[in-house]
Amino acid sequence: MKVLLAESAGFCYGVRRAVELARDTAVKTGGCWMLGDLIHNTYVVDELKRLGVRKAASISYLKSGDTVVIRSHGESKQILEQLEGKGILLVNATCPNVRRIQVLAAQAEAEGRTPVIIGDAEHPEVAGIASWCEHPLIFSGPEEVSDWLKHNLEAREVPLTVMAQTTCIRELFETSWKIIKKECTNAKKFDTICTATRKRQFEAAILAAKADVMVVVGDRKSANTKHLTEICKESCSRVFQIEKADELLPDFFSGCSVAGLTAGASTPAGIIKEVYAAMSEEIKAVENNEESFEELLNQSFKTLNTGEKVTGIVTGITPTEVQVDVGAKQSAYIKFSELTDDPAAKPEDVVKVGDEIETYIVRVNDVEGYAELSKKRLDAVKVWENIEQAVEEKTVMEGTVTEENKGGIVVSVKGVRVFVPASQSGQPRGADLSAMKGQKVQLRITEVNRARRRVVGSIRSVADETRRAAQEEIWANIEVGKRYTGTVKSMTSYGVFVDIGGVDGMVHISELSWSRIKTPSEVCKVGDTMEVYVISYDPEKRKISLGVKDHNVDPWQVFMDKYAVGDEASVRVVKLMTFGAFAEVVPGVDGLIHISQIADRRIEKPEDVLSEGQIVDVKITAVDEERKKISLSIRALLAPSVEESVEAEDVEE
């Protein structure tokens, strides 16, 4: 018989940080306060009390100048505001992962989205997160999610941002997300289950599958310990959750050949050590081959070798380096020069405390007990691996055009120079490729020679594929009357072609404007954005007829509402005839200025006085509503000519 100890059992980073902050604060201040239990472990809380960290039943117990350590599960926004308002000094031991979820919830609501939290609504962490937004939704798992969607059909259209309690069981979160993703049209997911929690749960599941008996150590109020127990029960029929070693019974291990041991994130190493020792004593079959707890811990340490990859957790950030816990005896760090190529970036812009980070081991110093790491070097290796993989999988990648080259352009993709031939640039033949400098583009990698550091790509293939997909989308959903925002692609004498998202439609010149125009260039130009609607379409011939004029507006009614007989108006001459000139009164409505009404004298032809496009003032002399005809007169606004005056005097005599 043997005892198997989970590698990640015990304190996680957030809990360890909270306990250390509380201890340091108690020493520095001579005593401080905590609101509720700092972590969910009675023995640790009792130890802190002995050091001077007292527990306040409510804020009313506290006074200005007191120091309060905020527990690792976080606190509500309202409580923090009340504490600051009373002049109380705060030491925020909230786990960085919990704080991230609080920020995500607040940001989601600020963006007009509804925060959805998968977790235990009664847990202080979840209650605290919920306080950072006005209307959060909290579900314990997929059953509650399904029930909510069933009774709230309108919820399928609501923008949702889905996140999880840091200690949530992964299966509950993933199943809940699948339901939301399937049913809701605008949902976004943030995987906020703590990396340490994720690892601990995974190890517990693997260990439970091997063991005849599983022992889970942790406070009964601890949510993550409870979840570990539930996970173990899925693979092992005999699972016991205990708080300390004296709860172990001999009957636990009858008929057992392999016993597994794991512990929640709030369980200190001392208690785990005691439980392990007690289990070893109970299992007599392993007495001759028993390993001490310390030996197991030493065996669990990673061996670091220069040139290898290693994954760790960011534990601290300074202006010059990032400290990383890689599960080894040596302390590990990354110099800022080995963190990123961006000289303007700060370490905290690249990583956050609590982040999982993959690095390359530059040097190991066993004598002084430290290891130098490099994220930058590993990123460079991974980029080339990604580039090579992108060729095989035909992955679409994004980059920035940095320069024009002989025969094409150069695109920087994650720091790698990719040559794109002119024929694959997506631009017309002979186009000025230098205009693309600085643009972000999507492309496929078509050729890689890592030895020569040569990479070739194609923007055109992605653009063609995107356009085909857009075309299929248009044809699948097109209907008469549907409106689109398009771009004028080309012009002819009889109309314009408008791109409505991968498909070109034709707007006839008669549909461009209510006003009478001779050429489309009078109202638009290539590149203009245009609001259009579908008049008709032919899927077989792939032809679409578009309109711009709003036929809900009656130009004649616009004229009748604005003018009456006797009114004056400024009109535009649109056509000259032998008998007079037609002029636009309002867009879509023309009136006739008879040749006799053009001038205050006799004229041979209208063009002797007028020209097309000229703006003139007229008087409306008659309106035929039934036939929708309008008579206009320039002459009526002019002073009588000498000839007319003489004729008038002769008549009077």
The pLDDT value given to residue 162 = 96
The pLDDT value given to residue 294 = 52
Reported as type and span, the H/E element at residue 617 is strand 615-624
What's the token pair of residue 351? 């990583």
Judge whether 3 and 280 are in contact, CB under 8 Å.
yes
Range with lowest mean pLDDT among 188-192, 249-253, 289-293? 289-293
Measured in whole angstroms, how far is the alpha carbon of residue 635 from the centre of its chain?
A: 67
Measured in whole angstroms, how far is the alpha carbon of residue 95 from the centre of its chain?
A: 24
Q: pLDDT band at 146, cuts 50/70/90?
A: very high
Range with lowest mean pLDDT among 108-122, 295-309, 471-485, 532-546? 295-309
Residue 283 has pLDDT above 80, yes or no: no
Q: pLDDT band at 569, cuts 50/70/90?
A: very high
Residue 642 has pLDDT above 60, yes or no: no
Range with lowest mean pLDDT among 476-485, 607-616, 622-631, 634-643? 634-643
Outline where DSSP puts E strands in 378-526: 396-405, 408-413, 416-421, 440-449, 454-458, 483-492, 495-499, 504-508
Residue 414 has pLDDT above 90, yes or no: no
Q: pLDDT band at 552, cuts 50/70/90?
A: low
Which tens digits make up the pLDDT trace of 245-261? 889 887 788 778 889 99
Residue 164 has pLDDT above 60, yes or no: yes
The pLDDT value given to residue 285 = 44
DSSP one-letter string for 257-274: SEEEEEE-TT--HHHHHH
- Residue 363 corresponds to which amino acid? R
The mean pLDDT of 313-327, rounded to a whole number, is 86
Range with lowest mean pLDDT among 48-57, 134-143, 524-533, 546-555? 546-555
Q: How far apart are CA 93 and CA 36, in angstroms?
A: 13
Q: Give yes or no: 321 in active site.
A: no
Residue 111 has pLDDT above 90, yes or no: yes
Q: pLDDT band at 145, cuts 50/70/90?
A: very high
Q: pLDDT band at 648, cuts 50/70/90?
A: very low
Q: Decide which of 262 and 471 is more confident.
A: 262
Q: How far apart are CA 202 and CA 228, in angstroms?
A: 9
b/e code 435-467 from CB counts within 10 Å (16+ = b):
ebeeeebbbbbbebeeeeeebbbbbbbbbeeee
Which tens digits make up the pLDDT trace of 197-212? 888 888 999 999 989 9
Judge whether 179 and 144 are in contact, CB under 8 Å.
no
Instruction: State how beta strands 396-405 and 408-413 pair.
Output: antiparallel
Judge whether 322 and 372 are in contact, CB under 8 Å.
no
Q: Where are the alpha helices (DSSP H) in 53-168?
A: 77-85, 96-110, 124-130, 142-151
Q: pLDDT band at 105, cuts 50/70/90?
A: very high
Report the share of the chain in percent with pLDDT over 70: 94
Sheet containing strand 2-5, strands side by side: 2-5, 258-263, 213-217, 239-242
What's the token pair of residue 60? 């009313």
The mean pLDDT of 390-413, rounded to a whole number, is 87
Instruction: State how beta strands 408-413 and 483-492 pair.
Output: unpaired
Q: How far apart are CA 18 and CA 25, in angstroms?
A: 10
Q: How far apart are CA 522 and CA 564, in angstroms?
A: 29
Query: Could you tell me which residues come within 8 angstroms of residue 96 by beta carbon, excluding any fewer than 6 positions away?
Result: 14, 352, 353, 354
3-state secondary structure of 369: coil
The pLDDT value given to residue 652 = 43
Catalytic residue among 7, 75, 125, 243: 125
Which tens digits make up the pLDDT trace of 5-39? 988 888 888 888 889 899 999 988 889 999 888 88
Judge whether 126 and 120 are in contact, CB under 8 Å.
yes
The mean pLDDT of 337-349, rounded to a whole number, is 79
pTM of full prediction above 0.75: no
The mean pLDDT of 401-424, rounded to a whole number, is 88
Residue 376 has pLDDT above 60, yes or no: yes
What's the token pair of residue 171? 């299966």
Sheet containing strand 187-189, strands side by side: 137-139, 114-118, 160-164, 187-189
Query: Could you tell me which residues come within 8 angstroms of residue 31 by beta carbon, excluding any fewer than 6 positions away?
Result: 52, 53, 54
What's the token pair of residue 224? 């993550």
Q: pLDDT band at 242, cuts 50/70/90?
A: very high
The mean pLDDT of 160-177, rounded to a whole number, is 92
**Residue 11: CA count within 13 A, CB half-sphere:** 17
Query: Could you tell me which residues come within 8 angstroms of residue 150 by beta carbon, excluding any fewer than 6 positions away?
Result: none
* Cα three-residue angle 359-364-367, rounded to 5 degrees: 150
DSSP state of 414: T
Q: pLDDT band at 649, cuts 50/70/90?
A: very low
Residue 615 has pLDDT above 80, yes or no: yes
Judge whether 262 and 228 are in contact, CB under 8 Å.
yes
The mean pLDDT of 279-298, rounded to a whole number, is 57
The mean pLDDT of 574-601, rounded to a whole number, is 90
Helices and strands, counts by H and E, the chain: 16, 32
Which tens digits make up the pLDDT trace of 461-516? 888 887 888 788 888 888 888 889 989 989 998 899 999 888 889 999 888 877 77
Q: How far apart are CA 547 and CA 543, in angstroms?
A: 14
Residue 450 has pLDDT above 70, yes or no: yes
Token pair 């989601």 is at which residue? Answer: 108
Range with lowest mean pLDDT among 74-83, 208-217, 540-549? 540-549
Q: How far apart are CA 512 and CA 516, in angstroms?
A: 9
Residue 638 has pLDDT above 70, yes or no: yes
3-state secondary structure of 217: strand
CB-based burial of residue 36 (10 Å sphere; 0-12 exposed, 13-18 middle, 19+ buried)? middle
**How does the average pLDDT of the chain come out, rounded?**
86
